[in-house]
Amino acid sequence: MTTLSTAILGYPRMGANRELKRALESYWRGDISADDLHQVGATIRKRNWDYQKKAGIRYIPSNDFSYYDQILDFSCFIGNIPPRFGYVSGPVDLDLYFSIARGNTKDSSNNQYAAEMTKWFDTNYHYIVPEFDEATEFSLTTTTPFDAYKEAKKWGVDTRPVIVGPLTYLSIGKSTDGSNKWALLDKLIAVYGDILKQFEAIGVTDIQIDEPIAVTKLNNTQKEGFKRAYDAIAAASSVRLHLTTYFGDLRDNQSLVYSLPVYSIHVDVTRLSTSFETVLAGFPADKQLSLGVVNGRNIWVNAYDDTIQKIQRAQAVISPDRIVVATSCSLLHVPVTLANETDIDESIKQWLVFADEKVHELVDIVTGFADPSADALGANRAVQNGRKTSALIHNNAVKTRLSQIKPLDYVRSSGFSDRSIKQKQLFNLPVFPTTTIGSFPQTDAVRKARRDFKNGGLSANEYESFLKDQIRDAVAFQEDIGLDVLVHGEFERNDMVEYFGEQLNGFAFTSYGWVQSYGSRCVKPPIIFGDVSRPKPMTVDWSVFAQSLTVKPMKGMLTGPVTILQWSFVRDDQPRKDTAMQIALAIRDEVCDLEKAGIGMIQIDEAALREGLPVHVSDWDAYLRWAVDTFRLVTGGVMDSTQIHTHMCYSEFNDIIEAIARMDADVISIETSRSHMALLDAFVKFNYPNDVGPGVYDIHSPRVPTVESMSDLLKKATKLLPVEHIWVNPDCGLKTRGWPEVKDALTHMITSAKQLRESHNVVSVRP
C-alpha cells in the first residue's frame, strides 16, 4: 500500500486544437463576444480538470488558465495596472486586460502602448513584465482566481489554486521611474495576506505559490525578502502553502528555502546541478517534499526505474506520506496530447509523452513504487531499452566524426584584420554597405503556394518555378533600389528552424504539437530525437540560383546550431552540447558547400544565443563556451575571403559581448533601432573589433522610418564605432512586413547611407 501523492503544477491552456487561439483572435477581430470567449475558456478548463481528476491526481491546479498570460493576470488581480491606462478602481475588464498586453489597438492616438514582454526564465514562453513605480499600490480588483476555484468545485474537482509568489513577481518586474521596486515588498506582502484569507473563506485548503526565482542567484535583498514575506504570509491564514520552485535546483538558496514556514516545498529534480542526495540533505522532516520528477519541459518518456529509485532514496529522510510525485514545472511548456498524432513514426511516438500522457506517468510511478511487478514498469523498461539501442537514433558515423573534431576545426586561417583586407579586395563595397537580414515579405501568395505544394495542389516543379519567380523579383527589386549585398528572400522557408530540421536526419515533426509562446501565438517545436546529419545540401541551389541573377554579392542564409537547438525539443539521452555540436557539423558542411558553389558571403543566424543562457549565472560560462564553439565549428572551414555574417535580434549584449567577440564573425547585425543605438554600448565599451550592422529600421512596426530618423541613428553609430566597421541594415528579417512599406523603408535606408557616405567622404580601404 502506498501513501505517495501526485501533483501537477499547471496545464496547457490553448486546447488540443488551439481552440483558445482561435477564440482570442476572433474576439480581437470583433467576431465573437466576451461571453463566447469565456465559454471557450470554460470548456478547456473543465476538460483539463476532468482529465486530471479521472486519472486520480491528488493536487490539481486551478488559476493556471489564462486568456493571455498568468503574470499579467496577477498584475490585474492585485490592481497593478501601468498608470498610462488610466485605471482607477473596480474590476479589470477584458478590454483593459488585452490593452495592457497588446497596446490599445482601438485608439492609437493615446500613449497606451503595450507592456513589455519577455522570456519566462529559460523557456520560450513570454510573460508581460510587471511595471512598478514609487506610487504603485496593490489592492484586489478581480475575483478570477477565486472564481476559478469555485468553478472547478462546481464540477466536483477540489483544486489547489496557483499564484505567482511575491519574490518572483517583484524580481521579474521593472521599475519605470528608477525607484527601488523592493520598497514595495511590504505592500505586496499585505496583499498576499488578503488573497490567502479570501481563499480560505471560500474553502481552499492548499495553495501553490510559484517561486522559480529561488533557483537563480539571489542577492541579499531577495534572500531577506523571502524570509520576511513567508513569515508574514504563513501567519495570515491557515491555508497550507505549497512553495514551488523549478527550472533548476536550489543550490546556495537551499537552506533558506527549507527554513521557510511553508507546508510543502517543491524541487525540480530533472535539472540538478548536484546529486539527488544534496536535495535531501537537511530537508525538514515536518514538511512535505514535492519531487518534480516528470519533466514539464520536454516530451520524453520518463525512466520509471530511475524515478522510483529516487523516491526510495527520499524515503530514507522522509516518510512516504509526505512525498509528492509531481511534474517538474507547469505543463504549459509541452503540447496537450499525443492522441491526434497519426503521422509521426510509431517507433518514435512510443518515446514521447505530452501533457495528458504525463498525467498517467505520475500515476504509473506511484503504482510502480507500491508494486514492483506492475505492468507499467515492464512496459516502460521495454521502451527505454528500445530507445537506447534504436538504429533510428544512433548513427555511428556522426558519433565518430564528433569524436574526431580537432582544435583547428574551430579556427579560421587568419585573424579578422587579415581576412578583412582580402574581403575588401574581393567585394569592393562602399563604406556603410547596405544589406538586409534575409527574409522578404511572406505574402499571402507565398504562403498559399507552400500550402498548395504540401497538399499536393502544386507539383514540385510548379512550386519551384513559383519560388524562382519570387527570387527573381526580389533580386531585381534589391538591384533597383541599390542595395550593396543582396539576399534571396527566404521564400522557401516557413520557419527558420523547421526549414532546416525538415532536411536533417534526427528530427521529427508533430502535427499538433503546439506550445504557447505568448498570447495567442503558439509554436510547434521540432523534436530532435537522434544523431543529426545532413543527407544533402539544403540551401545551395536557392543561393546559387539567386547569385546567378546578379553580379552583386548574394549572402547565403543559414540558421545556427544554438538557435536550432533552443527552438526544438532536444533529446535527453546526451548533453545538449553534443547535440549542438552535431548540428554544427551539419551546418558547417552547408557553409563549405555554399562556398564551393561560389557564395562568398554567408550569414548564420543565432537569434536565440542569448536566450539559451542558463537560469543560474554560475552556468553561463560553460554554456557560452560551447555555444560559441558551435559557431566557430560552423565557420572554421572557410577561406579568409569568405565573409561570415551573423545576426542576433532582441539581444542585450552587455553580459555576453566577450562571447560574441569570440564568435569572430566578420559582420554581426543586431537590433538597435528601438533602443536608439543604446545596445551598441556593449560593443563600444568592449572595443569590439569586427564589423557591426546596427539595425536602423524597426521591423516590428508598420511605420516607415524617414531618411532623417535613420540618418540620426547612423550618425549616432558613427560617433560610437569606427566608420569603416559600420554596416547599414534593418533590425531583423522583413517576412512579417508588406512590400510597399519595405520598399519605402529600404529606399530611405539607402538614401540615408548614401548621404552619410558623402558627408564622411571616406574611401573604402582599411588602414
- Pairing of β 264-268 and β 126-128: unpaired
Q: Nearest-CA neighbor of 434 among 238, 240, 667?
A: 667
Contact code string over 533-562 relative to ligand GLN, x by CB under 6 A: ------------------------x-----
Q: Could you say which of 126, 700, 748, 760 is catalytic?
A: 700
* Closer of 243 and 668 to ligand GLN (Cβ): 668
478 touching ligand GLN, by CB under 6 A? no
Annotation says 645 is catalytic: no
* Closer of 66 and 439 to ligand GLN (Cβ): 439
Q: Tell me which of ligand GLN, Zn ion, none is bound by residue 438, counting a contact when its beta carbon lies within the kind-specific cut-off of 5 to 8 angstroms.
A: ligand GLN
Q: Grid coordinates 483544486 are at which residue?
A: 159
- Spatial separation of the C-alpha atoms in residues 473 and 487, rounded to whole Å: 12
Name the residue number minimizing CB distance to Zn ion.
649
How many residues sit in the footprint of ligand GLN (CB under 6 A)?
A: 13
Let me know: does 562 contact 577? Beta carbons within 8 Å: no
Pick the binder of ligand GLN from 496, 679, 721, 742 (CB under 6 A). Answer: 496
438 touching ligand GLN, by CB under 6 A? yes
The CA-atom distances, in angstroms, between 563 and each of 227, 608, 609, 731 are 39, 5, 6, 17
Which residues lie below 8 Å from residue 354, measured CB to CB, with a gap of 6+? 299, 334, 335, 336, 337, 338, 513
Q: Please state the closest distance from residue 539 (CB atom) to ligand GLN, in A.
A: 11
* Closer of 244 and 603 to ligand GLN (Cβ): 603
Q: Tell me which of ligand GLN, Zn ion, none is bound by residue 616, counting a contact when its beta carbon lies within the kind-specific cut-off of 5 to 8 angstroms.
A: none
Q: Which range, of 157-165, 586-594, 729-737, 757-765, touches ligand GLN by CB under 6 A?
A: 729-737
Contact code string over 587-616 relative to ligand GLN, x by CB under 6 A: ------------------x-x---------
Let me know: does 740 contact 477? Beta carbons within 8 Å: no
Pick the binder of ligand GLN from 439, 442, 470, 642 (CB under 6 A). Answer: 439
Let me know: does 548 contact 48? Beta carbons within 8 Å: no
Which residues lie below 8 Å from residue 318, measured CB to CB, with a gap of 6+? 280, 283, 285, 289
3-state secondary structure 218-250: CCHHHHHHHHHHHHHHHHHCCCEEEEECCCCCC
Q: Nearest-CA neighbor of 119 among 567, 434, 695, 640?
A: 567
* Closer of 557 and 710 to ligand GLN (Cβ): 557
SS3 (DSSP) at 290? strand
- Spatial separation of the C-alpha atoms in residues 622 and 612, rounded to whole Å: 12
Q: Please state the closest distance from residue 268 (CB atom) to ligand GLN, in A.
A: 29
* Closer of 429 and 732 to ligand GLN (Cβ): 732
Please classify residue 230 by burial: count the beta carbons closer than 10 Å to its beta carbon, then call 0-12 exposed, 13-18 middle and 19+ buried.
buried
Q: Tell me which of ligand GLN, Zn ion, none is bound by residue 58, counting a contact when its beta carbon lies within the kind-specific cut-off of 5 to 8 angstroms.
A: none
Q: Please state the closest distance from residue 465 (CB atom) to ligand GLN, in A.
A: 23
Pick the binder of Zn ion from 294, 649, 679, 753 (CB under 5 A). Answer: 649
SS3 (DSSP) at 661? helix
Which residues lie below 8 Å from residue 539, measured CB to CB, with a gap of 6+? 556, 557, 558, 590, 594
Pick the binder of ligand GLN from 212, 560, 614, 733 (CB under 6 A). Answer: 733
Q: Please state the closest distance from residue 508 (CB atom) to ligand GLN, in A.
A: 23
How many residues sit in the footprint of Zn ion (CB under 5 A)?
A: 3
* Binders of ligand GLN in range 628-657 (CB under 6 A): 647, 649
Residue 624 exposure: Cα atoms within 13 Å on the Cβ side: 19
Counting every residue written for the chain, the total comes to 767
Q: Which range, of 335-343, 366-374, 587-595, 647-655, touches Zn ion by CB under 5 A?
A: 647-655
SS3 (DSSP) at 604? strand
* Binders of Zn ion in range 600-639 (CB under 5 A): 607
* Binders of Zn ion in range 50-69 (CB under 5 A): none
Pick the binder of Zn ion from 732, 746, 750, 753 (CB under 5 A). Answer: 732
170 touching Zn ion, by CB under 5 A? no
Binding residues vs Zn ion (CB under 5 A) = 607, 649, 732
* Catalytic residue numbers, as ranges: 700
Binding residues vs ligand GLN (CB under 6 A) = 437-439, 490, 496, 557, 605, 607, 647, 649, 732-733, 735
